[in-house]
A and B are shown apart, each in its own frame.
Chain A
């Protein structure tokens, strides 16, 4: 992510004009773990750091760590709710937000986060993730049932047409909830979610995909039998690489096992870590599946009266 010098300037000024050095350091530490301003600036511990120097140092460290937009989110939060019950008014906040929007981000008011607006294209890492770093992410995997038979039974042109339509549907549903398609391989793919409620979003996307596919089968699918899919959601740490083939992740391996071994046709299966974040309303859509003595999964399936 390229950060304009104007944005750096605004953040630096906002810090120096809105708070003391101690608070600046504390806020920086919430974005960059273990942040020590004295260590970064090289000032001796017994000499107070001037506000301007502190603000400039923090800003440049934030830019280097690729966390400037996260820090901007934090500034918005501090401006709204204060710190430890004390109100803190952040100066130049509108200019900071506007400058981030110029850089291709939009501020999601409800979630208080900046996210890639998409006008300049959508990237797999939301324009934020850094190549090679590991993040806590949630994933939704979709796979078409009986791909081999479909390829044998129908012409290549028809199969490709249907898979493209499924991909278009899937991508639309995922991106609507700020997810990103990380991989698509013919008859299925994987989408990643990082923002908002990152466990709820892929689950809702999976449920919507099942419903949309139901409609697609009724009205558009040219196959003689309905197209069936299996879906699974899992969450966990995963390194980020633009090239999906470079990613080695136990989370993605587990996701594949859950989808291929435990998901029934036309169902969505989620793992316990995801289920625990669903809340009462969404929980009620899932029934538990005992897959071994100690392991449970949760399944959603559309049924009719």
Chain B
């Protein structure tokens, strides 16, 4: 959980006495009120925002609170040393999780209060996604072995948790019939190179490749999953690849799946690896996902960037997991060319 304090007061950091603590607070930042919108907009990780309203005109406070309330993955509290909030209970009913008045501020807000606030948030607003709590729950559930934010700590032979991406071209049989083995092989190689280059920009490695698709691994640090953005961009920009890069004369269609899963990492003989996560991602990709779609497990979505959440809809349940599907970008106005 990150703590973000919006305030014009320079003395506030000293009074609040908030600091980083492993497992509870990842980061504490103090930001001026003039940057409220800009900073709030790009806040991605689960965040508890405190808004110091002492320098805000009373008529404008409601607007600030609306912005905080609307933002996904954000819990918010108020710092009100001037006693501007007359009805604190109503503030809490409207979604705030804390209100710090002059007296509380003078005695300091420490980690104990913060823990109480987080527990309160989870108890009173169970529908509000406190992703930090969700992350902790998920970590307990899946027993993650985070592979880190990059590949530096991944050693062959070790077991790690990765963001796993399955990718496979649709209409395999048709492709073989239509192009013949030689042309098809050249076109598939170019598709593979495209995928390899694309995922590399997001720290992904093409780990396994079969003729028509494969598995990409992204290091996973149990905090975020940039692989979601990678998959999203693959789908969004696919048509440009179809025109500029693809060796296939028609528009390609492929399926993508993203999940969080554990596997032993190996750089050779990847075909011999036995892993429940690998099995499940293949099942999901081959049995559940419909052609031309990108599906994500709910667990992976929790770690993805919240700005993309609106572009996914529930697709159903598979092997006990809720699966979300990316809404498809509609670029074309005419029938597809085949």
| A, B in one complex | yes
| Known contacts A222-B41, A285-B239, A303 near B334 by CB under 8 Å | no
Distance to closest chain B CB from A228 (angstroms) = 16
B11-42 at interface with A (beta carbon < 8 Å): 34, 37-38, 41-42
Check A305–B233 contact: CB distance below 8 A. Answer: no
Check A211–B237 contact: CB distance below 8 A. Answer: yes
Report how far A249 CA is from B243 CA in the complex, Å. 31
| Known contacts A222-B42, A284-B332, A305-B328, A204 near B240 by CB under 8 Å | yes
Tell which of B201-209, B269-277, B295-303, B304-312 binds the partner: B304-312
| Known contacts A224-B41, A285-B331, A211 near B243 by CB under 8 Å | no
Distance to closest chain A CB from B186 (angstroms) = 15
Report how far A284 CA is from B242 CA in the complex, Å. 12
Q: How large is the interface on B (under 10, 10 to 19, 20 to 34, 35 or more residues)?
A: 20 to 34
Report how far A305 CA is from B326 CA in the complex, Å. 9
Q: How large is the interface on A (under 10, 10 to 19, 20 to 34, 35 or more residues)?
A: 20 to 34
Q: Which residues of B contact A219 (CB under 8 A)?
A: 42, 229, 305, 307
Instruction: Kindly state whether residue B90 has any CB partner on chain A within 8 Å.
Output: no
Distance to closest chain B CB from A267 (angstroms) = 12
Distance to closest chain B CB from A101 (angstroms) = 25
Check B331–A281 contact: CB distance below 8 A. Answer: no
What number of A-B contacts does a CB cutoff of 8 Å give? 69
Check B34–A305 contact: CB distance below 8 A. Answer: no
* Interface SS of chain B: helix
Q: Which residues of B contact A208 (CB under 8 A)?
A: 237, 240
Distance to closest chain A CB from B310 (angstroms) = 9
Instruction: Kindly state whether residue B333 has any CB partner on chain A within 8 Å.
Output: yes
Report how far A304 CA is from B229 CA in the complex, Å. 17
B44-84 at interface with A (beta carbon < 8 Å): 67
Report how far A284 CA is from B332 CA in the complex, Å. 6
Report how far A215 CA is from B236 CA in the complex, Å. 10
Distance to closest chain B CB from A62 (angstroms) = 33
Report how far A204 CA is from B243 CA in the complex, Å. 9
Distance to closest chain A CB from B152 (angstroms) = 25
Check B244–A304 contact: CB distance below 8 A. Answer: no
Contact of B41 among A221, A281, A285 (CB under 8 A): A221
| Known contacts A224-B37, A224-B41, A303 near B330 by CB under 8 Å | yes
Contact of A285 among B42, B229, B333 (CB under 8 A): B333
Instruction: Kindly state whether residue B329 has any CB partner on chain A within 8 Å.
Output: yes
Instruction: Kindly state whether residue A83 has any CB partner on chain B within 8 Å.
Output: no
Chain A residue nearest in CB terms to B327: A305
Check B334–A283 contact: CB distance below 8 A. Answer: yes
Q: Which residues of B contact A224 (CB under 8 A)?
A: 37, 41, 67
Check B244–A303 contact: CB distance below 8 A. Answer: no
Chain B residue nearest in CB terms to A279: B243
Q: Which residues of A contact B334 (CB under 8 A)?
A: 283-284
Check A304–B329 contact: CB distance below 8 A. Answer: yes
Report how far A286 CA is from B331 CA in the complex, Å. 9
Check A302–B329 contact: CB distance below 8 A. Answer: yes
Contact of A281 among B229, B233, B242, B328 (CB under 8 A): B242
Check A155–B243 contact: CB distance below 8 A. Answer: no
Check B330–A281 contact: CB distance below 8 A. Answer: no
Interface centre among B239, B240, B330, B331, by most chain A C-beta atoms within 10 angstroms, is B331
Report how far A304 CA is from B327 CA in the complex, Å. 7
Check A284–B337 contact: CB distance below 8 A. Answer: yes
Distance to closest chain B CB from A260 (angstroms) = 23
B200-249 at interface with A (beta carbon < 8 Å): 229, 233, 236-237, 239-240, 242-244
Apart from A218-B308, A284-B336, A302-B331, list 6 A-B contacts with CB within 8 A. A218-B305, A281-B242, A284-B335, A286-B333, A304-B311, A305-B330
Which residues of B approach A to under 8 Å, CB–CB?
Answer: 34, 37-38, 41-42, 67, 229, 233, 236-237, 239-240, 242-244, 251, 305, 307-308, 311, 327-337
Task: Sample 29 A-B pairs with CB under 8 A, ordered by A number.
Answer: A158-B38, A204-B243, A207-B239, A208-B237, A211-B236, A211-B240, A218-B305, A219-B42, A219-B305, A220-B42, A222-B38, A222-B41, A224-B67, A280-B337, A281-B242, A281-B243, A281-B337, A282-B243, A284-B335, A284-B336, A285-B331, A286-B333, A302-B329, A303-B329, A303-B330, A304-B311, A304-B327, A304-B328, A305-B330
